[in-house]
Amino acid sequence: MTTDEAIAQLKQYCPKLFRHGLRPFKINIKQDLIDAGIPEDVVKATMEVITTSRRYLEACRAGHARYDISGRRDGLVTWEQCRQADNRLLDLRLRERDQMRQRRMNHNNAPRGDPQECRASMKQTGAILSR
Protein backbone atom coordinates (compact mmCIF):
# COMPACT_ATOMS: atom_id res chain seq x y z
CA MET A 1 0.00 0.00 0.00
CA THR A 2 1.35 3.44 -0.90
CA THR A 3 1.17 6.50 1.33
CA ASP A 4 -1.53 8.03 -0.89
CA GLU A 5 -3.61 4.83 -0.72
CA ALA A 6 -3.28 4.72 3.07
CA ILE A 7 -4.31 8.38 3.35
CA ALA A 8 -7.29 7.81 1.05
CA GLN A 9 -8.40 4.86 3.15
CA LEU A 10 -8.25 6.83 6.42
CA LYS A 11 -9.78 9.89 4.78
CA GLN A 12 -13.00 7.92 4.32
CA TYR A 13 -13.37 7.79 8.10
CA CYS A 14 -11.92 11.15 9.17
CA PRO A 15 -11.61 13.61 6.27
CA LYS A 16 -10.92 16.58 8.57
CA LEU A 17 -7.63 15.02 9.65
CA PHE A 18 -6.27 15.45 6.12
CA ARG A 19 -8.10 18.67 5.25
CA HIS A 20 -4.81 20.59 4.91
CA GLY A 21 -2.63 17.74 3.69
CA LEU A 22 -0.44 15.39 5.68
CA ARG A 23 0.46 16.88 9.06
CA PRO A 24 1.84 15.38 12.28
CA PHE A 25 -0.73 13.35 14.19
CA LYS A 26 -1.41 13.82 17.88
CA ILE A 27 0.26 11.36 20.21
CA ASN A 28 -1.78 8.12 20.58
CA ILE A 29 -4.07 8.94 17.65
CA LYS A 30 -4.30 5.23 16.82
CA GLN A 31 -6.52 4.64 19.85
CA ASP A 32 -8.69 7.63 18.91
CA LEU A 33 -9.15 6.17 15.42
CA ILE A 34 -10.12 2.78 16.85
CA ASP A 35 -12.49 4.42 19.35
CA ALA A 36 -14.08 6.27 16.39
CA GLY A 37 -15.07 2.91 14.91
CA ILE A 38 -12.31 2.37 12.38
CA PRO A 39 -11.35 -1.32 12.27
CA GLU A 40 -8.12 -1.95 14.18
CA ASP A 41 -6.46 -3.76 11.27
CA VAL A 42 -7.14 -0.75 9.01
CA VAL A 43 -5.73 1.64 11.60
CA LYS A 44 -2.57 -0.41 12.12
CA ALA A 45 -1.90 -0.94 8.42
CA THR A 46 -2.55 2.63 7.32
CA MET A 47 -0.76 4.30 10.23
CA GLU A 48 2.32 2.12 9.69
CA VAL A 49 2.52 3.21 6.05
CA ILE A 50 1.81 6.87 6.74
CA THR A 51 4.00 7.43 9.80
CA THR A 52 7.04 5.81 8.19
CA SER A 53 6.66 7.72 4.92
CA ARG A 54 9.08 10.41 3.82
CA ARG A 55 6.27 12.99 3.61
CA TYR A 56 5.11 12.40 7.18
CA LEU A 57 8.62 12.39 8.63
CA GLU A 58 9.44 15.61 6.79
CA ALA A 59 6.30 17.20 8.28
CA CYS A 60 7.49 16.43 11.83
CA ARG A 61 9.39 19.65 12.57
CA ALA A 62 9.99 20.87 16.11
CA GLY A 63 7.36 23.33 17.24
CA HIS A 64 4.85 22.36 14.54
CA ALA A 65 1.35 21.48 15.69
CA ARG A 66 0.03 17.94 15.92
CA TYR A 67 -3.58 17.25 14.88
CA ASP A 68 -6.38 15.05 16.19
CA ILE A 69 -8.95 13.14 14.12
CA SER A 70 -11.15 16.26 13.90
CA GLY A 71 -8.35 18.29 12.38
CA ARG A 72 -7.87 20.36 15.54
CA ARG A 73 -4.47 21.18 17.02
CA ASP A 74 -3.49 18.83 19.82
CA GLY A 75 0.07 19.29 21.03
CA LEU A 76 3.36 20.15 19.38
CA VAL A 77 6.23 18.19 17.85
CA THR A 78 9.09 18.26 20.37
CA TRP A 79 12.78 18.60 19.56
CA GLU A 80 13.29 14.96 20.52
CA GLN A 81 10.48 13.80 18.21
CA CYS A 82 11.94 15.95 15.43
CA ARG A 83 15.36 14.34 15.99
CA GLN A 84 13.78 10.87 15.83
CA ALA A 85 12.03 11.78 12.56
CA ASP A 86 15.33 13.08 11.14
CA ASN A 87 17.07 9.82 12.08
CA ARG A 88 14.32 7.80 10.39
CA LEU A 89 14.59 10.01 7.31
CA LEU A 90 18.34 9.44 7.20
CA ASP A 91 17.80 5.67 7.45
CA LEU A 92 15.20 5.85 4.69
CA ARG A 93 17.52 7.83 2.40
CA LEU A 94 20.41 5.43 3.04
CA ARG A 95 18.18 2.43 2.22
CA GLU A 96 17.00 4.12 -0.97
CA ARG A 97 20.60 4.91 -1.94
CA ASP A 98 21.67 1.31 -1.32
CA GLN A 99 18.72 -0.01 -3.34
CA MET A 100 19.59 2.33 -6.22
CA ARG A 101 23.21 1.16 -6.15
CA GLN A 102 22.10 -2.47 -6.15
CA ARG A 103 19.77 -1.90 -9.12
CA ARG A 104 22.53 -0.10 -11.00
CA MET A 105 24.97 -2.93 -10.23
CA ASN A 106 22.45 -5.55 -11.35
CA HIS A 107 21.82 -3.62 -14.56
CA ASN A 108 25.54 -3.25 -15.30
CA ASN A 109 26.15 -6.95 -14.66
CA ALA A 110 23.23 -8.13 -16.77
CA PRO A 111 24.22 -10.62 -19.46
CA ARG A 112 24.69 -9.05 -22.85
CA GLY A 113 23.75 -10.81 -26.04
CA ASP A 114 25.95 -11.13 -29.10
CA PRO A 115 25.48 -7.90 -31.13
CA GLN A 116 25.40 -9.81 -34.44
CA GLU A 117 22.70 -12.17 -33.21
CA CYS A 118 20.71 -9.25 -31.86
CA ARG A 119 20.93 -7.39 -35.18
CA ALA A 120 19.93 -10.51 -37.14
CA SER A 121 16.97 -11.07 -34.84
CA MET A 122 15.84 -7.46 -35.21
CA LYS A 123 16.10 -7.69 -39.02
CA GLN A 124 14.05 -10.86 -38.94
CA THR A 125 11.25 -9.19 -36.94
CA GLY A 126 11.35 -6.07 -39.10
CA ALA A 127 12.65 -3.85 -36.33
CA ILE A 128 15.57 -2.83 -38.56
CA LEU A 129 15.08 -2.05 -42.20
CA SER A 130 17.69 -3.60 -44.44
CA ARG A 131 19.92 -1.18 -46.32
Domain that holds residue 32: 3-97
Position 113 in a domain: no
pTM for the complete prediction?
A: 0.72
Residues 100-124: tens digit of each pLDDT: 888 888 776 656 666 677 677 666 6
CA–CA separation, 100 vs 24, rounded Å?
A: 29
Position 104 in a domain: no
CA–CA separation, 65 vs 77, rounded Å?
A: 6
Position 106 in a domain: no
Position 24 in a domain: yes
Position 43 in a domain: yes
Q: C-alpha 121: how far from its chain's center?
A: 42
Return the pLDDT at 102.
Answer: 87
CATH of the domain at 22: 1.10.1710.10
Return the pLDDT at 106.
Answer: 78
Return the pLDDT at 86.
Answer: 95
* Per-residue pLDDT at 130 exceeds 80: no
Please list the helix, strand and coil fractions of the chain in percent, rounded to the nearest 5, in that order. Answer: 60, 5, 35
Position 76 in a domain: yes
CA–CA separation, 79 vs 61, rounded Å?
A: 8
* Structural domains in the chain (count): 1
